Amino acid sequence: MKVGARLGIAFGVIVALMVIIGVPTSTKTQSINRGMSAIVDDCYVKVRLAFDVRDGVNDQIKFLRGMVIDTNRPERNVKRFNQLAEVKQRTNTAMKRIADIQVTSVGKKKIQGLMEAGEAFESEKGKLIDLIKAGDFDGASNFALLAITPAQNAFLEGAAKFANSQDSQLRAEGQSIVSAAGSAITITLVCAALAIIAAILLDIYLTRSIVRPLNEAVAVAERVAAGDLSSKIAINSREETGVLMRALQQMNDNLLSIVTEVRTDSNTIAVASNQISSGNLALSKRTEQQASSLEETASAMEQMTSTVKHTTPTTRVRPTSWWRQPPPWRAKAAR
């Protein structure tokens, strides 16, 4: 398998591991986001409104008791009547908002029961207010202690139960989010561990299949650069590293052939040089002999010159032109 294909496979494995890490993490993150949205936009709103209803019921009961106590002092109840009307409006608004955002049948049933309990309480509360406005302290006291108590307790318990149920749902949603976050962390850590292991295995594989042959090629090149042409290069693959090793082998063989030829030519040149040196020695000897002969000849010439110098003063020769001199045969005849 070629280096490019192996690197592509390694890159693909890394991408696959990233996808494996990203998909569960993204899924869990979306689940957490949905849970947070449900808590913020639904559960928390319902819990807050449920506790507003419960607090509103308690406030109404508190105001009614004060009004019963001050039945004979109506001037003190003027403010309480206004406060009671305000709390009633707030309580009814809260219940209506809860009813509007309920989507499950169970939730609709719960809020419907709470609203019915509220209507029963309002009916009994109206009777109590009539007694208070009439100034009937005893009647109002007995009605507050006996007649209104069942409706009051039913409404109060219903509001408390509804608030507690919404609070439980909120806690359950929060726990679900915490669980989902923990699961996402666990999945991420496991996938990250797998990715690390896969990366280590890929590193080992790439090191053995790519880096090691390249190191061998570098070692061969260094030996060749150092002048060692005796390396035996093993070619174990057909991919790029194998092609490189084959090229190094060819280069090594060519260099070895060139060096061998140069060495042979050098030996031939050395033999020719030796022959030339021998010829030079022989030529030098002959030159020395000729020089000796020339010295002897020069010595003889010097002797001849000396002899001629000694004989010249005793010989008189009449100067004449060469064409006026008689031929040798006439000279002899004259003698």
Residue 327 domain flag: no
The answer to whether position 329 is within a domain reads no
Asked whether residue 58 is assigned to any structural domain, the reply reads yes
What is the pLDDT of the chain when averaged over all its residues? 79
pLDDT range class, residue 86, cuts 50, 70, 90: very high
User: Do 143 and 252 lie in a common domain?
Assistant: no
Q: Which residue has the higher pLDDT, 82 or 104?
A: 82
Q: Are residues 169 and 271 in the same domain?
A: no
The domain spanning residue 112 has which CATH number?
1.20.120.1730
Shared-domain flag, residues 172 and 247: no
In the predicted model, what is the mean pLDDT of residues 171-197?
Answer: 81
Tokens of 213: 């042959």
The verdict on 251 and 134 lying in the same domain is: no
Burial of 140 (0-12, 13-18, 19+ CB in 10 A): buried
Give domain status of residue 176, yes or no. yes
Residues 167 and 258 in one domain: no
Total count of domains within the chain: 2
Residue 64, CA atoms < 13 Å, CB-side half-sphere? 27
Query: Is 144 found in the same domain as 9?
Result: yes
Assess if residue 81 is contained within a domain.
yes
Same domain (yes/no): 105, 172: yes
Q: Is residue 322 part of a domain?
A: no
- The whole-model pTM stands at 0.48
Tokens of 274: 């030796």
Q: Which helix (H) or strand (E) holds 169?
A: helix 149-206
Residue 330 has pLDDT above 80, yes or no: no
Question: Is residue 323 very low, low, confident or very high in pLDDT (cuts 50, 70, 90)?
Answer: very low
Residue 27 in this model has a pLDDT that exceeds 60: yes
Question: For the residues of 76-108, what is the DSSP string, one character each?
Answer: HHHHHHHHHHHHHHHHHHHHHHHHHH--SHHHH
240 & 109 share domain:
no
- Block residue for tokens 């110098």: 309
**236 and 172 co-located in one domain:** no
Residues 166 and 94 in one domain: yes
Among 173, 207, 241, the domain-final residue is: 207
Last residue of a domain, one of 155, 175, 207: 207
DSSP state of 325: S
pLDDT bracket for residue 295 (50, 70, 90): confident
Question: Is 123 part of a structural domain of the chain?
Answer: yes
Q: Render pLDDT for 124-169 as a digit per residue (tens, 0 to 9).
A: 889 989 998 888 888 888 988 888 888 888 888 888 888 888 788 7
Range of the domain at 250: 229-292
| 263 and 128 part of one domain | no
Residue 222: inside a domain? no
Find the largest Cα–Cα distance for the chain: 218
